[in-house]
Amino acid sequence: MGHLVGYTFLFIQLCFDLWIYSIYTVYSLAENFYRFLFPVRRKSLDKEIILITGSATGIGRAICLQLAAKTKATLVLWDVRKEANDELAEILRQFGTQARSYHVDLCSRSQIESAAERVKGEVGNVSVVINNAGICNPVRFLDECQNPEAIERVFHVNVLSNFWILAQFLPQMVIHGHGHIATLSFLGSSSTLPFLASYNASKFAQHGLMATLQDEIMKDPWRPDIKFTTAFATFTDTTLTSGQKITYRYPFILSTLDTTYVAKRVIEAIQRNKECVYIPWYMEIYVLLQRMIPTRVRHVSSKLLFDLELTTRSLEFSRNHAPFGHNNKKFGRFNLPPVKE
Ligand SMILES: *[C@@H]1O[C@H](CO)[C@@H](O)[C@H](O)[C@H]1NC(C)=O
Ligand SMILES: *[C@@H]1O[C@H](CO)[C@@H](O)[C@H](O)[C@H]1NC(C)=O
């Protein structure tokens, strides 16, 4: 009898919970639709101190140039390519922007920590972090395994540096109750792309860090106003993609993106406090569709938009590091060594 009462109570509770959650869902969907029609006003970044990693080239550089053109924010540029970074800071200063360049190798925790100390002394408390720096080895997994240091570098730059940077700047954001953390992620397809094992694994890890951190901050009793933005861009014309040959099936739907365009969308997403931004925007629909189709179809469907091949740079890497498969013309297939008798 006692069981019956207990279960009845639980059942009523379940119905009540489902009811509350469905109302909340409908309300949120309606709000999303409203925000789609009337987006949130862009917030001003004029008073912010913005740290951009990997600022010297590619998307990082484009972000710096546009922030300088559109805002009065103070820019802190971190890059391992010293000359290019100093040069960019000089250009930005000519625009009238407060910009300072720092030579930092994101593989090194001690360099990150000492650069952060210098920034705090010379510029101030960073209020916006844009985790833009990223590297990848566009090679086959078995070849990449021949060069463990290269794999470690990918994780140092793409994942661990995020931990060390946040460890330096997040505490003050929490104390001041104000901040924004933006991350450049990558959207290949929802099925995996070949040749990007360490890159993909590192991006997954980075995403896990950001998602958990955001959750923690949201549940923090002090409720610091710290926003998170993750940008999922497809292939962009940067040094990262220079080792890959990408063939687009429908170039009018998708082709390699321009850094200026990506930077513009990222800045807009930060200003509108968007949690997620897909670049180009219709990739969101693609991702949604991909989730609904059976996995078997998903595996072949990535070819629908593009195909990835390795180019000479990757081939060189394979020649120098791979014990097998040098003569294989079809890089997409593994050419395993013959079985020894
Ligand atoms: C940075 O934040 C710390 C901790 O809140 C504060 O003591 C310090 O004065 C701030 N520095 C600047 C330049 O605002
Ligand atoms: C990485 O792998 C996951 C899991 O298969 C996949 O969902 C994701 O889209 C992949 N990302 C890239 C860039 O290939």
Q: Is residue 160 part of a domain?
A: yes
Domain limits for position 221: 44-321
In the predicted structure, residue 258 carries a pLDDT above the cut 90? no
Q: Is position 24 within any domain?
A: no
Q: How far is CA 187 from CA 192, 244, 268, 285, 311, in A?
A: 10, 15, 19, 13, 21
Q: How confident is the model at residue 322 (pLDDT cuts 50, 70, 90)?
A: very low
Note whether residue 31 is domain-resident: no
What's the domain count of the chain? 1
CB 185 within 8 A of CB 196: no
According to the model, what pLDDT value does residue 341 have?
Answer: 34
Residue 197 CA to ligand 2 center (angstroms) comes to 9
Residue 234 lies in a domain: yes
E-assigned strand segments in 91-141: 99-103, 128-131
Which residue, among 327, 306, 308, has the nearest Cα to 318 in the 3D structure? 327
> Looking at per-residue confidence, does 334 or 287 come out higher?
287
54 contact partners, CB below 8 Å, separation of at least 6: 60, 78, 79, 106, 132, 133, 134
Residue pLDDT, tens place only, 84-102: 999 999 999 998 999 999 9
User: 189 CA to middle of ligand 2, Å?
Assistant: 6
Is 21 domain-assigned? no
CATH of the domain at 304: 3.40.50.720
What are the tens digits of pLDDT across the range 107-153?
999 999 999 999 999 999 999 999 999 988 877 788 788 888 989 99
The torsion region of residue 208 among left (phi > 0), alpha (psi -120 to 50) and beta comes to: alpha
> Does the pLDDT at position 320 exceed 60?
no
Ligand 2: which atom is nearest the Cα of residue 192?
A: 14
Look at residue 329 and tell me if it is in a domain. no
The CA 198 to ligand 2 mean position distance, Å, reads 11
Tokens 């297939």 -> residue: 333
Reply yes or no on whether 199 is catalytic.
Answer: yes
Q: Which of 21-35, 214-228, 251-265 has the lowest mean pLDDT?
A: 251-265
- The H or E element spanning position 53 is strand 49-53
| CB 301 less than 6 A from any atom of ligand 2 | no
Mean residue pLDDT of the chain comes to 85
pLDDT category of residue 317 using cuts at 50, 70 and 90: low
Residues 6+ apart with CB under 8 A from 299: 191
Residue 336 maps to a domain: no
Half-sphere exposure of 261 (CA within 13 A, CB side): 14
pLDDT at 60 over 90: yes
pLDDT at 209: 94
Q: Residue of the nearest CA to atom 7 in ligand 2?
A: 190
From 82-86, 228-232, 233-237, the region with the lowest mean pLDDT: 233-237
Ligand 1 binding pocket (C-beta < 6 A) is 124-125, 172, 175
Measured distance between the N- and C-terminal CA atoms of the chain, rounded to whole angstroms: 71
Please give the model's pTM, rounded to 2 decimal places. 0.85
The ligand minimizing its distance to the Cα of 308 is: 2
- Establish if 112 belongs to a structural domain: yes
Atom of ligand 2 at shortest distance to CA of 201?
1
